[in-house]
Structure 1
Amino acid sequence: MKKVYTSAAKALEDVVFDGMTIAVGGFGLCGIPENLILALRETGVKDITVVSNNCGVDDFGMGLLLQTRQIKKMVSSYVGENAEFMRQYLSGELELEFNPQGTLAERLRAGGAGIPGFYTKTGVGTIIAEGKEHKDFDGETYILERGIRTDLAIVKAYKGDEKGNLTYRMTAMNFNPECAAAGKITIAEVEEIAPLGSLDKMAIHTPEIYVQRIVQGEHVKRIEQRTTRAG
């Protein structure tokens, strides 16, 4: 099966539909699939549920889909620096399902591993636990969290080969491997498509079985918060 596509727009053809769920890799602006996000905006798909740690910033990354009102619901752990995200949530325009960060990562990992649910102590005694099953283990109370599977996952990797094996670079790995595994269809954008056999097998973080499409893109790599000391 040919996995390499010539553009992000081509890679998204015939896989998007209104009301779908999408897992999006990245953390803030680090490791986000920026070309696929832009192409997703151009499809005009609407009423989508996005599973992502946060929603970037107002004018870049996932924030662009908030501007166009294409997102119906966010499943996130952090509102962050995005003023439009905050405004839409507080005004009732956007649904938000808050998750502790580690719980969100594990829900994605579990979904990708075929695990329908798991018990965790995180959130016990808080509003996170409301409406969820409670169970005691060794005298401690845990709550049941469900694994997450999405219709589509879009991720960003440093390098990938023609079969879809992916390797991430440093902190840009963040949520990308978990999102890649959780998608029924996964599209990866990479900085470089490497020749088959050239990737170090020990450095392949997402194996080809999880990836259906891959595209090479140019990346801005913006800094979300630039802090410098006085000269």
Structure 2
Amino acid sequence: MDKVVSSAAEAVADIPDGATLAVGGFGLSGIPSVLIDAILEAGTTDLEAVSNNCGVDEWGLGKLLFAKRIRRMISSYVGENKEFARQYLSGELEVELTPQGTLAERMRAGGSGIPGFYTATGVGTQVAEGGLPWKYDSEGNVIVSSPPKETKVFAVRDGEGGHVDREYVLEEAIVADFGLVRAWKGDRHGNLIYRQSARNFNPLAAMCGRLTIAEVEELVEPGELDPNDIHTPGVYVQRVVALTPEQAADKRIERVTTRPRPTSDGAGAAPADDAATHGLGG
């Protein structure tokens, strides 16, 4: 089945207001920036986004946030984005903070048909006991808090041949209306390969979306990808958007970090303009 659509605009045209989006990426590495821009252009609003973070000011999901198109976020890390902090603290945005590993497993479980799982992460904290502020009003009062979660004690091996009772907290899986991902290579059947650190949350976002859309930097014909190299099988992907070379090359750096380039005598020189020093690649 050929899943390629003609444009990003066509791919996101049926995403309605109020939809839940699972969005791949980590920082700005591997984010589906072209699909995000298409949603912005479409005017879609009142969105709930499930993503490790919300981009940065004016890039990635930060564009949708700045335009006030996002109603609620489920995230692990919300730094690098001043507008995010402003909207959250002023009562314009609801935020469910989730431990990073827990978020990853909630998405994976949703894509695997598993409704929930127990984890030790968060036991004895407000993650399990409830009370984390999800939403404030304009006066800074908490109006929505996280609910308490079910906990259970399991007997687990103690490493010495015995068992010890340990408490775990129940976390519910995440299933999104749409998954948005970016891949390095993909074929017309929706099989995807991610490159290096850009793999991050993309396979999980692809799994947990009821309808998943992939933007791919290089589109190849079926059979050209080695099955052993495929990270996301096409069964999880319903639409594929082939990027232009310009779109594929348009990647931003979250925070540029450089160091002096060593000279032959060991002394420092001007800062190295080397992509390898720029942090996460995509």
Normalising by structure 2, what TM-score? 0.80
SS at match of 1:140: strand
* 3-state DSSP of counterpart to 1:74: strand
Structure 2 match to 1:23: 22
Structure 2, unpaired ranges of 5+: 131-147, 156-164, 261-269, 271-282
Match of 1:3 in 2: 3
Residue in 2 aligned with 1:114?
113
CA distance in 1, matches of 2:2, 2:199: 25
Q: Which has the larger radius of gyration?
A: 2
Q: What is the rounded CA distance, in whole Å, between the counterparts of 1:67 and 1:125 in structure 2?
A: 35
Matches of 1:103 and 1:176, distance apart in 2: 15
- Does residue 228 of structure 1 match 2:254? no
Aligned to 2:150: 133
Matched ranges for 1:70-219 at <5 A: 70-129=69-128, 130=130, 131-138=148-155, 139-217=165-243, 218-219=247-248
- For 1:57-104, what per-residue CA distance to the aligned partner results, in whole angstroms no more than 9, with x for missing partners? 101100000111000000000002011011111111100000000000
Mean CA deviation greater in 126-135 or 96-105 = 126-135
Supply the distance in 1 between the matched residues of 2:229 and 2:79 (Cα, whole angstroms). Answer: 31
**Off by >3 Å, runs of 4+ in structure 1:** none
Aligned residues, how many? 230
Alpha-carbon distance between aligned partners in 1 of 2:111 and 2:100, rounded to the nearest angstrom: 17
Higher relative contact order (CA 8 A, sep 6+): 1
Rounded to whole Å, the distance in 2 between the matches of 1:80 and 1:5 is: 34
List gaps (5 residues or longer) in structure 1.
Answer: none
TM-score w.r.t. structure 1 length?
A: 0.98
Separation in 2, partners of 1:19, 1:10: 19
CA drift at 1:135:
0.3
| Cα deviation, residue 23, structure 1 | 0.2
Aligned sequence identity (%): 60
Q: Secondary structure at the match of 2:223?
A: coil
Q: Which amino acid aligns with 1:198?
A: E
Partners of 1:227 and 1:209 in 2: CA distance: 39
